[in-house]
Amino acid sequence: MSSDDTYLNLVNGGFTGKVAKQFGLPQPAPLRRFAPGQPLLDGPVLVLGDDELADLLATDWALDVHRRPTPDLRYSAVVLGLTDLIHPSALSAPVMELAGVLKKLARGGRVVTVSRAASPEDAPSVAAARQGVDGFVRSIAKELRGGATANGLVLAADVPVTAPSVVGALRFFLSTRSAFVDGQLLAIDSSAGSLPSDWERPLEGRVAVVTGAARGIGESIAETLARDGAVVVAVDVPAAGEQLVAVANRVRGTALQLDVTAPDAGARLLEHTLQRHGRIDIVVHNAGITRDKLLANMTPEKWDAVLAVNIASQLAINEALLTSGDFTDAPRIVSLASTSGIAGNRGQANYAASKGGVIGMVRATAPLLAAFGGTANAVAPGFIETEMTARIPVVMRQVARRLNSLQQGGQPVDVAETVAFLASPAAGGIVGRVLRVCGQNLVGQ
Ligand code: NAD
């Protein structure tokens, strides 16, 4: 479904745009999305502080890399290598260099930091410096305009900047694939994973199952995984059969009509995928429902239905996958959480319990897959323009979609791009994490 964000269109119109500016109204900028063949960056990139990163960008990706800020140059991106930080005072020099070029950052520009995780074993000054990057990134993400974003990679102690997941995540954050990911710090836990031979087809040879694929975010995930080279099994309830077949045909995959809460859902999903495609590498748990009620008015039916679809089904299907012996070649589980599961949401106690559950589940499932080079991670969307959010009353909807740094709702494809990245071979070092796709929603961490 495309955006019905009339307000965004109005403030980007000539006359109406001027009026909105005069009255100090929010001025969301149209975001540029990925299309195959698009260059990684359109203009020069300033790389501060890390020679290895600068070499990677200049040599492997053939970008126009600058090591010193040139006044008046319009940079497409600034990468801050901060892995050597050992005292907060050392932040000053690179940060001031960044400050000097920010006003000239291109529309849709990118700021990406690469730093190390703070740990209780660090000396206090080291931990302070490292944790300081967190607050810094979240703040500049709130200051950037014109659809520009700021995100950070936070490397575990023994992970080099050349590790596949650092390289893959840096590329993701620099590209238009991450258009609606803003103000996020993504942990890179290990050097596991591998780089694709073709960055445009990182999922070539992989077979992916997507639940809830008949419409909305699931439909977009099916399309995006197929575009990236995967063979897709599209799963949805029998009632959505016609739409499901249309999606499966469009992505040249197969359709499986299945209620994910059925006791034999895991077995049927495995049987279909192995029989039709010979292997199973990626499972995206996207099927989800809402049954909103204040807890005082909650019925057991509404509570149980949400928990059954949104989390219990995922646990049962994962159990079937893990015990099958067929999910062992660097497998990937990507689950849909929600910012509601992080921050809580009035009227959504059941939904938030299920989505918080997803976050706990991936954290505990990831170690079970580690022996096969596998991962489990979650994506937490904020406000995304789908049939689910179209049901929100109009005034509330207008407010909800402005409550983030990009001042607009995301598109299903924004979630899909993030799922595709976490499902890719390069993301093998990202383990049990949650990546938010929320335009830096004001709620939650
Ligand atoms: P949607 O309602 O448009 O689509 C959900 C799909 O899941 C539907 O096709 C539905 O038939 C299917 N489904 C529901 N129950 C099922 C079952 N038992 N078995 C198989 N399929 C089932 O929802 P959406 O907005 O595309 O959301 C997709 C996921 O993203 C959900 O998990 C949702 O909680 C999550 N999410 C959405 C938003 C948002 O803003 N739209 C925000 C945060 C999280």
Amino acid at 119: S
- The atom number, within ligand 1, closest to the CA of 261 reads 18
Q: CATH topology of 31-188 equal to that of 207-437? A: yes
Which residue has its alpha carbon closest to ligand 1 atom 27? 217
Amino acid at 98: L
pLDDT confidence of residue 24: 65
Q: What is the pTM of this model?
A: 0.96
CA 156 – CA 433 distance, rounded (Å) = 13
pLDDT confidence of residue 184: 98
Centroid of ligand 1 to alpha carbon of 351 (angstroms): 12
Which residue has its alpha carbon closest to ligand 1 atom 32? 288
- The atom number, within ligand 1, closest to the CA of 309 reads 18
Handedness of CA 366, 367, 370, 372 (dihedral sign): negative
Residues 6+ apart with CB under 8 A from 405: 141, 142, 144, 182, 183, 439, 440
pLDDT confidence of residue 308: 98
Centroid of ligand 1 to alpha carbon of 268 (angstroms): 20
CA 386 – CA 196 distance, rounded (Å) = 31
Centroid of ligand 1 to alpha carbon of 60 (angstroms): 38
Give the single-character DSSP code of 384. Answer: B
Average pLDDT across each block of 10 residues of the chain; the chain has 445 residues. List them in order. 63 65 75 96 94 94 95 94 96 95 95 96 96 97 97 97 98 98 98 97 98 98 98 98 98 98 98 98 98 98 98 98 98 97 95 98 98 97 91 87 94 98 98 98 73
pLDDT confidence of residue 16: 60
- The atom number, within ligand 1, closest to the CA of 244 reads 9
Nearest to 378 by CA among 318, 335, 425: 335
Centroid of ligand 1 to alpha carbon of 280 (angstroms): 22
Q: Ligand 1 pocket test: pick from 3, 264, 289 the residue with the most ligand atoms within 8 Å of its Cβ.
A: 289
pLDDT confidence of residue 1: 38
Which residue has its alpha carbon closest to ligand 1 atom 35? 336
Centroid of ligand 1 to alpha carbon of 211 (angstroms): 9
Nearest to 317 by CA among 255, 264, 254: 264
Structure tokens at 251: 């992505």
Task: Ligand 1: list residues with CB < 6 Å.
Answer: 211-212, 214-218, 236-237, 240, 259-261, 286-289, 309, 336, 338, 381, 383-384, 386-389
Centroid of ligand 1 to alpha carbon of 220 (angstroms): 12
Domain definitions of the chain by residue range: 31-188, 207-437
Residues noted as catalytic? 351
CA 270 – CA 209 distance, rounded (Å) = 9
207-437 — its CATH code?
3.40.50.720
CB 332 within 8 A of CB 423: yes
pLDDT confidence of residue 392: 86
CA 298 – CA 144 distance, rounded (Å) = 41
- Topology (CATH) of 31-188: Rossmann fold (3.40.50)
Which residue has its alpha carbon closest to ligand 1 atom 33? 288
Structure tokens at 435: 């990546």
Q: Ligand 1 pocket test: pick from 290, 388, 411 the residue with the most ligand atoms within 8 Å of its Cβ.
A: 388
- The atom number, within ligand 1, closest to the CA of 215 reads 9
Phi, psi of 324 (to 5 degrees): -75, -25
pLDDT confidence of residue 2: 42
pLDDT confidence of residue 396: 86
pLDDT confidence of residue 214: 98
Nearest to 34 by CA among 407, 438, 417: 417
CB 91 within 8 A of CB 85: yes
